[in-house]
A = this chain, B = another copy of it.
Amino acid sequence: MNLILLFSNDFLDGSTRVRLSDRRFLHAKTIHQVKLEDSLQVGLLNGKMGTGIVTKIEDTFMEMDVTLETPPPPPLPVTVILALPRPKVIKRVMIAMTSMGVKKIFLINAYRVEKSFWQSPVLSKESLDLHCLLGLEQAKDTLFPEITLARYFKPFVEDTLPEIIKDTLSIVAHPKANTPCPAHVNGPVTLVIGPEGGFIPYEIEKLISCGVKPVHIGPRILRVETALPFILSRLM
């Protein structure tokens, strides 16, 4: 946690003082071992960042006097459309994407996505929100991403995708593509990433017919958690 993310209801009525008693308090207390008058980096969810001076520490809560003055870092102009990974990986991938500044994330179905993955409690709003918060706290950012689950591939591609990719460079990472992944794209990108084992030919064809271009990142096949930062870095 490189930044403590604050919510508007953390503030004591109309003041610049916050009181924390949850996970954030425990982390500050046990990991950072905060003391009175320590200065911690804080940020208001979807707002500015600044510092919090610790004014009170009790057994079950702490209070800080907060000043917010700097804007969060700019978002990454990339929309990521990701075939739903296995639950263990979703957590890490949500943290990774959020920490890199991705603000629009679609988790979609594909033939090689195991049906059981959609039942995972990791996909609950609470769990997805938590992992996004962890990513923002890691990266020192406050802008919460928008996450959409799309359980049906075909209607997603036919009805939703055209609107998403409009006015963006839209690509799908595909090991069999002939074109290398573009670098330093000076503008918004839509990046589609398939499941373990890749999209099946029907799915690639559907994406292509919608205007998405298959690209490769070389002869190596990377796991999604490695491929994502590898490609996002290349695009920037």
Residues of A near any B CB (own CB < 8 A): 2, 73, 92, 95-96, 99-101, 138-141, 218-223, 225-234
Within the complex, the shortest CB–CB distance from A41 to chain B, in Å, comes to: 10
Contact among B92, B100, B221 for A222, CB-based, below 8 A:
B100
Contact yes or no, A220 B100, CB < 8 A: yes
**How many angstroms from the CA of A55 to the CA of B180 in the assembled complex?**
37
Contact yes or no, A99 B220, CB < 8 A: yes
Contact yes or no, A220 B101, CB < 8 A: yes
Q: Which 5 A-B pairs have the closest CB atoms?
A: A139-B220, A233-B233, A229-B229, A229-B230, A73-B219
A234: B residues at CB distance < 8 A:
233-234
Contact yes or no, B96 A221, CB < 8 A: no
Q: List 11 A-B contacts (CB under 8 A).
A: A73-B218, A73-B219, A92-B225, A96-B222, A96-B223, A99-B223, A101-B220, A140-B220, A225-B226, A229-B233, A231-B233
**How many angstroms from the CA of A73 to the CA of B234 in the assembled complex?**
19
Contact yes or no, B221 A138, CB < 8 A: yes
Within the complex, the shortest CB–CB distance from A83 to chain B, in Å, comes to: 17
**How many angstroms from the CA of A74 to the CA of B219 in the assembled complex?**
9
Within the complex, the shortest CB–CB distance from A123 to chain B, in Å, comes to: 21
A223: B residues at CB distance < 8 A:
95-96, 99, 138
A2: B residues at CB distance < 8 A:
221
Contact yes or no, B221 A139, CB < 8 A: yes
Contact yes or no, B96 A219, CB < 8 A: no
A99: B residues at CB distance < 8 A:
220-223, 226
Residue of B nearest to A218 (CB): B73
Apart from A92-B92, A99-B222, A229-B229, what 6 extra A-B contacts exist at CB < 8 Å?
Answer: A100-B226, A100-B230, A139-B220, A140-B219, A229-B230, A231-B233
Residue of B nearest to A232 (CB): B230
Residue of B nearest to A49 (CB): B219
A233: B residues at CB distance < 8 A:
229-231, 233-234
